[in-house]
Each structure stands twice: as structure tokens, then as C-alpha cells.
């Protein structure tokens, strides 16, 4: 078997095209505004922020980057978040991670107003997701993973998913989201014993551990779907957590790196920002009162 490639680049382009139409239909004051808080001078963070800004511009979302020195204190950063929370023109706020070591990321993420938390990293939104509440803002990478799986047309109910990784930004929310879609989910991590034995039982493997090419051909059941979230550098080249060349021989579907989950993450962030704009009090149909019948207020 040679796996079909799950083309995240193409799917993300489709999502952006649809979003561009929806954003164009909003009038001036309602154009979504994404505020990105960037602390310090991390090269990878700068690249991620540049990509988000470019993708936002493509769909008509305004992306404003607030650059802070890495010497900023926690209180000062909280004050920046508070200002953005109160700014009625800002639809969504993200804080680019990682933050400098002297700042507690959870404290900062928890300060983002849940309705504007378009990364879905506020523990309140993570809690809503864990409670299967539909109003949870779901973080972009898990949402992108779900969309890629749905694009295969497969019925997710009852599928055994093994998630490799339990981070707050990928592994955990991905596991919760797939559980909410009736999958049977096994979450694994660096203390898991006999990982290949577990992955061999999976209908779907989601690899999000940051270990280059960890997942080998003999870890995968014939015909399983493999989603590779990892972004690693090996010998100067980008690669995922899955040994793509090997695993594509046995999987039914597989995401490439680059061009799989990465582009979907950005597209889902933009979708979350658009949805957050509809929740703003300035949203023209009902000024946020919820009597307009717009689908967002009926969730
Ligand atoms: P973290 O480092 O925060 O978490 C890694 C997780 O993997 C941890 O739970 C860790 O276990 C687990 N782990 C590490 N080594 C192993 C192992 N050998 N076997 C099993 N589990 C292991 O990483 P992130 O979740 O932030 O990111 C994971 C990967 O995804 C990275 O490569 C990152 O660059 C990429 N990424 C890609 C995105 C995209 O859009 N494509 C978005 C975000 C991240 P433990 O908890 O025990 O330490």
C-alpha cells in the first residue's frame, strides 16, 4: 500500500478562500482584528508570526503585532493583555509561545478574555473542551488535525486513536477533541512503556512529541491513518515525528511535513479569529446581544 497524502497546504488554501469570502461580507467596523503579542527575539517565533500575518492579510483579517522586549515583567505583560481585552476593535488575542523563563505562561494565557482567546489556550477554554461544551474555543492545531481527518470522509466514531504527546497546546486538546468526536483515545508520553505496541493497535496515530522520525513502519497497523504534527530539523532539513518514507508504505493516509498540519494550524487560527469577531459587541447583526438569529449566537 502507498498512502494517500493528506494535503494540508491545499485544504488550508480552501479554508482561507472560504474565509476570505466571509470576511469580505463583513463591513468596515466588523473586520476581524488579530492581536499577536510577541515577547523577545526568538527566531522561530518571528517566522511563525510573519507567516500568521501574511496568511491573515490574504483573507482580509487585520493582524497587529505587539512586540515586547524579553525583559518585560509579568505585571507589565498582563497590563498589555488587559488593554487588548478591553479594546473593542480587537477580535482575537494570541501570545506567541514560548515566553521568557521569568514569565509564567499559564498566568498570561489565563488573562486573555476567553471570547478573544483564539488560540484556545486559556484554561477556561481547555476546560470547556474537556467538558464537551460546544462554545469552547478549540486550539488551532487540534482543530486542523480534526479537519484533516474529516477530509478523508472516514467515520471517526469508535476509531482507536493513539496520541503521542500530552502537551497543553497539542496532545491534550487533540485527545479531548477526538474523544468528543467519539474516538477511543489513548494518550501517550515520554514515560509510556511499549509505545510501538500501543501505536500498532491504532486506527489513527497522531504524533506530537517533537522527536524527529520517531514513528517507524513497524509501529503502524496496515491501513492506519497517520497525522504528523512534529516540526523538527534533522541535518538541516525539516521533518516530522514520523519516518514519512517508511510509514507511507503501510498507512492509508499520511500528512507530510512540511505541508500537512502546519498550514492547517494557521488556517484554523484565522477561522477562530473570524468566529471571535462575530462574538464581539460591535458585530453589526445584533451588537453582541444574540437576537439576530446568526448561527454564532445559536450555538
Ligand atoms: P512539547 O515538547 O510541549 O511536548 C512533547 C510531548 O511529547 C510531551 O508530552 C512529551 O512527554 C512527549 N514525548 C517526548 N518524547 C517522547 C517519546 N520518545 N515518546 C513518547 N512521548 C514523548 O511539544 P509540543 O506539544 O508543543 O509540540 C510537539 C511537536 O509538534 C513539536 O515538534 C512542535 O514543533 C510541533 N508543533 C507543530 C505545530 C504545527 O502546527 N504543525 C504546532 C505546535 C507544535 P512528557 O509530557 O512526558 O514530557
Q: Is the pLDDT of residue 33 over 80?
A: yes
CATH number of the domain encompassing residue 87? 3.40.50.10860
What rounded mean pLDDT belongs to the chain? 94
Query: Cβ(211) to ligand 1 under 6 A?
Result: yes
User: Does the reported pTM lie above 0.85?
Assistant: yes
- Check whether residue 89 and residue 160 sit in a common domain: no
Structural domain count, the chain: 2
Residues 6+ apart with CB under 8 A from 255: 5, 6, 8, 148, 226, 227, 228, 240, 261
**What local confidence, expressed as pLDDT, does residue 132 receive?**
98
> Residue 292: its pLDDT value, please?
46
262 lines ligand 1 (CB under 6 A): yes
The Å distance, Cα 169 to ligand 1 centre, comes to 9
Asked if residue 286 has pLDDT above 60, the reply is: no
Contact 226, 220 (CB under 8 A): yes
Is 191's C-beta closer than 6 angstroms to any atom of ligand 1?
yes
Gap from CA of 206 to ligand 1 centroid (Å): 11
Do 112 and 154 fall within a single domain?
Answer: no
The answer to the question of residue 213 being in a domain is: yes
pLDDT at 53: 97
Segment 100-126 mean pLDDT = 98
Look at 81-85, 237-241, 270-274, 288-292 and tell me which has the smallest mean pLDDT.
Answer: 288-292
Q: Which domain holds residue 40?
A: 27-117
Are 201 and 111 contained in the same domain?
A: no
In a domain, 290, yes or no: no
The reported pLDDT for the residue numbered 298 is 40
Confirm whether 100 is domain-assigned. yes
Residue 226 lies in a domain: yes
User: What whole-number distance in Å separates Cα of residue 238 and Cα of residue 233?
Assistant: 5
Tell me, what's the pLDDT at 1?
81
Query: Does 3 fall in a domain?
Result: no
Which CATH number goes with the domain that contains 192?
3.40.50.720
Same domain, 159 and 238: yes
pLDDT at 295 over 90: no
CA of 288 to the centre of ligand 1 (A): 38
C-alpha dihedral (219, 223, 227, 232), degrees to nearest 10: 50
**Do 195 and 255 belong together in one domain?**
yes
96 tagged catalytic: yes
Q: How many C-beta atoms lie closer than 10 Å to residue 71's C-beta?
A: 10
Ligand 1: which of 193, 209, 256 to mutate, judged by most atoms within 8 Å of the beta carbon?
209
Is the confidence at residue 116, as pLDDT, over 80?
A: yes
73 lies in the same domain as 159: no
Testing ligand 1's pocket by substitution, the residue of 6, 121, 191, 208 carrying the most ligand atoms inside 8 A of its CB is: 208
The distance from CA 264 to its chain's CA centroid, rounded to whole angstroms, is 8
Q: How confident is the model at residue 125 (pLDDT cuts 50, 70, 90)?
A: very high
**Angle CA 259–263–265, to nearest 5:** 135
Q: Is the CB of 239 under 6 A from ligand 1?
A: no
For residues 73-98, average pLDDT: 97
Distances (CA, A) of 256 to 9, 229, 237: 10, 9, 13
Domain co-membership, 71 together with 148: no
- Look at residues 86, 117, 148 and tell me which one is the last residue of a structural domain: 117
Could you report the per-residue pLDDT of 201-221, keeping only the tens digit for each? 999 999 999 999 999 999 999
In a domain, 270, yes or no: no
Kindly state the DSSP code that residue 36 receives in the 8-state scheme: E
Please check whether residue 153 lies inside any domain of the structure: yes
Is residue 281 situated within a structural domain?
no
101 compared with 283, residue with greater pLDDT: 101
Whether 119 is a known active-site residue: answer: yes
Amino acid at each position: 500500500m502507498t498512502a494517500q497524502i493528506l494535503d494540508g497546504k491545499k485544504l488550508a488554501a480552501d479554508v482561507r478562500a472560504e474565509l476570505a469570502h466571509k470576511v469580505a461580507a463583513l463591513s468596515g467596523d466588523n473586520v476581524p482584528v488579530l492581536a499577536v503579542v510577541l515577547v523577545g527575539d526568538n527566531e522561530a517565533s518571528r517566522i511563525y508570526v510573519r507567516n500568521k500575518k501574511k496568511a491573515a492579510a490574504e483573507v482580509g483579517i487585520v493582524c497587529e503585532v505587539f512586540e515586547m522586549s524579553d525583559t518585560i515583567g509579568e505585571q507589565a505583560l498582563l497590563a498589555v493583555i488587559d488593554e487588548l481585552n478591553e479594546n473593542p476593535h480587537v477580535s482575537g488575542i494570541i501570545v506567541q509561545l514560548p515566553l521568557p523563563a521569568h514569565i509564567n505562561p499559564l498566568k498570561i494565557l489565563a488573562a486573555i478574555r476567553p471570547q478573544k482567546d483564539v488560540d484556545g489556550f486559556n484554561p477556561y477554554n481547555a476546560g470547556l473542551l474537556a467538558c464537551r461544551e460546544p462554545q469552547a474555543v478549540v486550539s488551532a492545531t487540534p482543530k486542523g488535525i480534526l479537519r484533516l481527518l474529516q477530509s478523508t470522509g472516514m467515520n471517526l466514531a469508535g476509531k482507536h486513536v493513539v496520541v503521542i504527546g500530552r502537551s497543553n497546546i497539542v496532545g491534550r486538546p487533540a485527545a479531548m477533541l477526538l474523544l468528543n468526536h467519539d474516538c477511543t483515545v489513548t494518550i501517550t508520553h515520554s514515560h509510556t512503556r511499549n509505545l510501538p505496541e500501543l501505536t500498532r493497535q491504532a486506527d489513527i496515530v497522531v504524533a506530537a512529541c517533537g522527536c524527529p522520525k520517531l514513528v517507524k513502519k513497524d509501529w503502524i497497523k496496515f491501513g492506519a491513518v497517520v497525522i504528523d504534527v512534529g516540526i523538527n530539523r534533522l541535518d538541516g532539513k525539516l521533518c516530522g515525528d514520523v519516518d514519512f518514507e517508511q510509514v507511507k508504505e503501510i498507512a492509508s493516509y499520511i500528512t507530510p511535513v512540511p505541508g500537512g498540519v502546519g498550514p492547517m494550524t494557521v488556517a484554523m487560527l484565522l477561522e477562530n479569529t473570524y468566529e471571535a469577531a462575530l462574538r464581539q459587541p460591535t458585530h453589526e447583526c445584533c451588537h453582541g446581544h444574540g437576537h439576530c438569529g446568526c448561527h454564532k449566537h445559536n450555538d
